[in-house]
A and B are shown apart, each in its own frame.
Chain A
Amino acid sequence: MFRSIRWRIGISSLTLIVVCMAILSVYLLNYVREYYLSNLGPQLVAQANLVAALAEKHITSGGSDDLDALVKRLGQQTKSRLTVIDRNGVVLGDSMEDPATMENHGQRPEFLQALSAGVGEGSRYSSTARLDMLYVAVPIHANGDVAGVARVSLPLQEVNESQQRAASTIAFAISLTGALVILLAFLVTGMAVRPVKQLTQMVRAFSAGRLDQRIRVDSQDEVGELAEAFNQMSERLEETIETVSNERNRMAAILSSMADGIIIVDGEGKVTLLNEASQRILRLPRQDYLGHSLIEVVRDHELARLVKDSIERRGGQEIMARLVETGVPRRILRAVITPIKEGETRHTLVVLQDLTELRRAETVRREFVANVSHELRTPLASIKALVETLRDGALEDTAAAKDFLTRMETEVDGLTQLVGELQELSRIESGQVALKPEPTAVLTLVVPATERLRTQAERSGVTLTCDVSSQLPDVLADGVRIQQVLINLVHNAIKFTPPGGQVTVSASAKDTAICLSVADTGIGIPSDDLPRIFERFYKADKSRSTGGTGLGLAIAKHIVQAHGGDIWAESLEGHGATFIFSLPIAAGVPE
């Protein structure tokens, strides 16, 4: 409590005032006493001289009784105590006491002083009068010789009393001033300290993170200025912090939304930053990676080696880009390693790009070209063989020649169909085929498609059933295209179903879509092939060519996807397969 400014200022001013007044009062009290005494002194000397003059002749005549009587009479008149003492210190007369009973006064200081200096003065406690007394003594001269001493004494009571009055007045003044000083000091320092206290509170709030704190400035003094400056500072600080945190949030948002993985490694090889894309690309479980070594996080010694090389090649600013195959299962990553320098600290920035899909697409394209050439070469080779056979003499044999021409026609038809489908596929894929989706009843899609294939089904000994309710909502579909998909699926189903089997077309509503399915009881599809059957030229059973271009399902997939739907297959090998595709329900109809 006594450490606060308030108390320190209060106490110190109080001390100052009290000390000053104490010095002053000591001086004043002394002065009062001196003043009284200096006034009384000459008066008493005069009285003493008078008594001495009157007593002179009594001493010379030796009438001591007369002298005592004279002294008593004079004492009553002057209201002082008078004493006449002979040169030996024997009291000859006293206005208050009987001289015979009084002790020898030969050793009293004023007596001795009077004999030696002419006038003696002194104040002390008188055992006779039981009071503080002021004494003045003068010698009595008789015949040019000192015959005795006349002493006048006055009680100092009055002097003491007036001194006490002065003292109490001064004490009262001191305490009043002291109280005033304390009060004033408290008020003034209180006013000065209040903003300081507010300032302290604000700074505390500030450090606790509440940045919107401001002080109300009342005073115009230094503290007020300080508070003003503080307000300005906090405003600036708030702005700066906001800018910085905005910046940081933006950086964090950018980092976390980036498709490329970003890892920053410090000079010690420890990870200091790792964004979400890195976790995704490297298939890392969500946990804290910061401060761990790079190899511990990425588990790829090639990548770790690249970064280590970059760290060790201090000063080198070159950027390295490498392909890294990593992870289980394997992924192909492009790693770009850049040394970055932030003041004295060196870091290494690793940017990771996932090229796995790109590589897969490249592989698919390469395979596609290989497949196309294979698909083209096979019929061309057989046409070539047929042509050669004809030229080598078969032309003469009309029956054989006709047969050859029919086979050539079949091959050419196959080639034409292949080229046509390739063209169509590429057009659908590149979005050149304009779909005209309109609300269409599901039945109007299913019925024409199944009817077209009914004869073929009957020929193959397969029962084709259509189990579609007329209550289903309309779908948004391009009728011609969807019928194409259905025909393709039903055609496949009939092809892969042995005689006596069944092919069923059905439809059901699911949320905002209608799922159409074509189920058969045929040979089914091996589970390993299921994800790949929609790829171009993919044939589940490569050994048994069942005809067809191998593009039908790929086209079907693209048509369905262009409708905003999805297509997939379910199968248990040996127990038939079900192809399902979804189409969106036409808006407004679902109610």
Chain B
Amino acid sequence: MTRVSFEKELGHLQDEVLVLGSMVDKAIDRSIEALKRRDLEEARRIIADDLVINRKRFDIEEQALLVIATQQPMARDLRFIASVLNIITDLERMADHAEGNAKITLLLGDEPPLKPLIDIPRMALKTRDMLRRALDALVARDAEAAKQIAHEDDEVDALYDQVYRELLTFMIQDPRTITRATYLLWAAHNLERIGDRVTNICERVVFTVTGRMEEMNVSTY
């Protein structure tokens, strides 16, 4: 009986992590869409919604601690809950980066667009894809998949590099673009950080499965 309810509680905890993951994923998507469309209203909503995400994170943390206190989990289950505590922190930080991008949208305001955004949405797409699959790996307890995803962070870094160089060219050619280009660079940097956080999640998945802590992909930024 206790065993069954414990399994149920673990399943519920995992579902809650997935809910938070979905919230964060949407925040990233919406923040980039707002940046692309210069949608200030949407940007303000994203900033407001970040509070919900923060609350959810504390909520899950409390549930996880409650499971530890009442069920005294062992081995893999304990590692899973410990990982959950770390993963929700990473997720919450990712949401903060998304919120950061929404703030950049507000900063850019009505200034004319520097250039159509191509690589930044691509970075967002890549990091979101990685996040989704990292959570898949967590659900499947698949350490191999997690390692694979962590390696893909190089693609995000490469895109960031590209954006950086491109924006630098703009700034060199026309100093009037420096403010806007810098804002966009921040946005790209936020996405790059999000990619790193996905790598952290992957590390936690590997820890849950194998019990080994491994630094997976040391970012150059």
Determine if A380 is an interface residue (Cβ-Cβ < 8 Å). no
Q: Are B26 and A295 in contact (CB under 8 A)?
A: no
The stretch of B125-133, B151-159, B168-176, B203-211 in contact with A is B125-133
Q: Is B118 interfacial (CB 8 A cutoff)?
A: yes
Contacts A293-B11, A293-B15, A330-B29 known; A299 to B22 CB distance under 8 Å?
A: yes
Report if A299-B21 is in contact (Cβ < 8 Å); known contacts: A293-B11, A325-B26: yes
Closest to B20 in A: A301
Near B by CB (< 8 A), chain A positions 330-371 give 330
B18 within 8 A of A: yes
Contact indicator A295/B25 (Cβ below 8 Å): no
B104 within 8 A of A: no
Query: When the two chains form their complex, are residues A328 and B22 in contact, meaning their CB atoms are under 8 A apart?
Result: no
Verify A328–B26 contact, CB threshold 8 A.
no
Minimum Cβ distance to chain B for residue A255 (Å): 25
- Beyond A295-B19, A299-B132, A299-B135, is A328–B25 a contact (Cβ under 8 Å)? yes
In-complex Cβ contact of B128 among A296, A301, A302, A328 (8 A)? A328
Question: Which residues of B in the span 98-147 have a Cβ within 8 Å of any Cβ on A?
Answer: 118, 125, 128-129, 132, 135, 139
Q: Which B residue's beta carbon lies closest to that of A303? A: B22
- Cross-interface CB contact of A329 among B20, B23, B125, cutoff 8 Å: B125
Nearest Cβ on chain B to A282's Cβ, whole angstroms: 11
- Cβ contacts under 8 Å, B26 to chain A: 301-302, 325-326
Q: Does A304 contact B (CB under 8 A)?
A: yes
Residue contact B19 to A304, C-beta cutoff 8 Å: yes
Picked from A299, A302, A325, A528, the residue with its CB within 8 Å of the CB of B18 is A299
Q: Mark A523-552, 1 if CB is under 8 A from B, else 0.
A: 000001000000000000000000000000
Please give, as numbers and ranges, the residues of chain A lying within 8 Å of B15 by CB-CB distance. Answer: 293, 295-296
Chain A hits for B199, CB < 8 A? none
User: Are B23 and A328 interface neighbours, CB within 8 A?
Assistant: no
**A300 CB–B CB distance under 8 Å:** yes
| Nearest chain A CB to B209 CB, angstrom units | 17
- Residues of chain B within 8 A of A528, CB atoms compared: 118
Q: How far is the CA of A330 from the CA of B19 in the complex (A)?
A: 17
B29 partner residues in chain A, CB cutoff 8 A: 325, 328, 330
Contact yes or no, A295 B125, CB < 8 A: no
Q: Which of B18, B19, B129 contacts A328 (CB 8 A)?
A: B129
Measured in the bound complex, the distance between the Cα atoms of B31 and A330 in whole Å is 13
Task: Give A307 Cβ to nearest chain B Cβ, in Å.
Answer: 12
Which residues of B sit under 8 angstroms from A325, Cβ to Cβ?
26, 29
Interface membership of chain B positions 1-37, coded 1 if the CB is closer than 8 angstroms to chain A and 0 otherwise: 0000000000100110011111101100100010000
Q: Which residues of chain B are near A295, meaning CB under 8 Å?
A: 15, 18-19, 22
Closest to B33 in A: A330
Among B21, B25, B118, B128, the one with the most A-chain Cβ atoms within 10 Å of its Cβ is: B25
Where the two chains meet, the residues of A that have a C-beta atom closer than 8 Å to any C-beta of B are 293, 295-296, 299-302, 304, 325-326, 328-330, 528
9 closest A-B pairs (Cβ-Cβ)? A301-B22, A301-B19, A328-B128, A295-B18, A328-B129, A295-B15, A293-B15, A300-B22, A301-B23
Given contacts A299-B18, A302-B22, 10 further A-B contacts (CB under 8 A): A296-B14, A296-B15, A299-B132, A300-B22, A301-B23, A301-B26, A325-B26, A328-B132, A329-B125, A330-B33
A-B CB contact pairs (8 Å), 11 listed: A295-B18, A296-B15, A296-B139, A299-B18, A299-B21, A299-B135, A304-B19, A325-B26, A328-B125, A329-B125, A330-B29
Residues of B within 8 A of A (CB): 11, 14-15, 18-23, 25-26, 29, 33, 118, 125, 128-129, 132, 135, 139
